[in-house]
Amino acid sequence: MKWFAANARDLPWRRDHSAYRVWVSEIMCQQTQVATVLPYFERFLEAYPTIANLAAADEAELMRMWEGLGYYRRARSLHAAAQKIVAEHDGNFPTSFDDVLALPGIGRYTAGAILSISRNEAFPILEGNTQRVFSRWIGLNVPPTERESQARLWEFSELMLPRRSADDRTRGPAGFNQAAMELGALVCSPRNPKCDECPVASLCHANLFGLQDEIPGKISKVQYESRTEIAAVFRVDDKVLVRTLPKGVRFAGMVDFPREGPPVASDLAGMESWLAVQLGVEVQLGMKLKTIKHAVTRYRMTLQVHAAHLGVGQMDAGEAAASTVASSIALPEGWQWATLDELEAMPMSVTGRKIVGLLKDAQPSLFG
């Protein structure tokens, strides 16, 4: 903890330990690097300074605020949890572990982290950094993801907690837990840990026996699957066709260009058929505008972006004909025509935003 006092990064949620700020920071930092989170955190708290503000937020505006952080379920869980806090706790963040654990998007680690850091209560925390620090500290040879290892690490984490009074933050559980996380982030790295800088090197079994490269044990890597999807870009009268993705699908609540993949659209013909069913009119896909490669959870995605045209034989019919066909279509729920400027205020995925950027430079002739 002395090391932490001298080496801790100056992070905005450490300047103010309110439960709300700690909660938002913990959710944002899940599977996301701190450097990426920093500007988002500041903008988020400026837009939603209280839990009540967050609970009352417009979902589309909230998703736009979150855009680029990924794992959008986190934002929806924050929103739902804020509404639950307003409804059941008068807008005050709960102080009971069970009540915190009952909030959407919060598990054992996050509940303990919030109460430990904001209230200096003696709750253990175990996440990526502390899991690695504690595994090396006690010389744990079994991979930390194994059930027996998890039980041992939670036990060790709890045993190490100082039992200090709530007003002694720097020497209490809040200080220890943050110090352990910071040690993992800055010193006890996955590869080439800086053992010569570590304040607990003399107590660390991995260091004593030269096992830093073997501990923590090998963790099974995610087996990524390749998946190709097709996005269709209809452009008529300076507007493009987009849809708000429904609940239960990836990026739910976000605005996106019509896209599909296997088994619905394994090829261009399949994509044309799917679009025809959605729009009630024949569709033709034109030239490929761009190929975008990205990763989503366990998938390595390839997105083929194609210009698209409404009606058979309309590819070369001109803008007036396309406008006539477009005006005759009864769009499904959630679908709309929007200008590129209007899309700037709508929440979109990173790939959707890339398509918008592409269209700003595209020649109108690509769309007939």
All structural domains of the chain? 2-208 (1.10.340.30), 225-367 (3.90.79.10)
- Report H helices in the chain: 2-7, 12-15, 19-28, 34-47, 51-55, 59-66, 73-89, 97-101, 108-119, 128-138, 147-160, 173-186, 205-208, 268-279, 319-327, 340-343, 350-361
- Nearest alpha-carbon partner for 129 in 252, 228, 33: 33
**CA torsion, ordered 257, 40, 63, 20, to nearest 10 deg:** 160
Give the active site residues.
26
What is the Cα–Cα distance from 235 to 237, expressed in whole angstroms?
7
Q: What is the pLDDT along the chain (368 residues), one digit of tens a residue?
A: 999 999 999 999 999 999 999 999 999 999 889 999 999 999 999 999 999 999 999 998 999 999 988 888 899 999 999 999 999 999 999 999 999 999 999 999 999 999 999 999 999 999 999 999 999 999 998 888 888 999 999 999 999 998 765 566 777 999 999 999 999 999 999 999 999 999 999 999 999 999 999 998 766 666 788 999 999 999 988 899 999 998 878 888 889 999 999 999 989 999 999 999 999 999 999 999 999 998 777 788 999 999 999 886 545 555 555 676 777 888 999 999 999 999 998 999 889 999 999 998 765 555 55
R_g of the chain computed on alpha carbons: 25
3-class DSSP state for residue 198?
coil
What is the Cα–Cα distance from 214 to 210, expressed in whole angstroms?
9
3-class DSSP state for residue 305?
strand
Q: Give me the helix-helix angle, 59-66 and 73-89, nearest 10°.
A: 130
pTM over 0.85: no
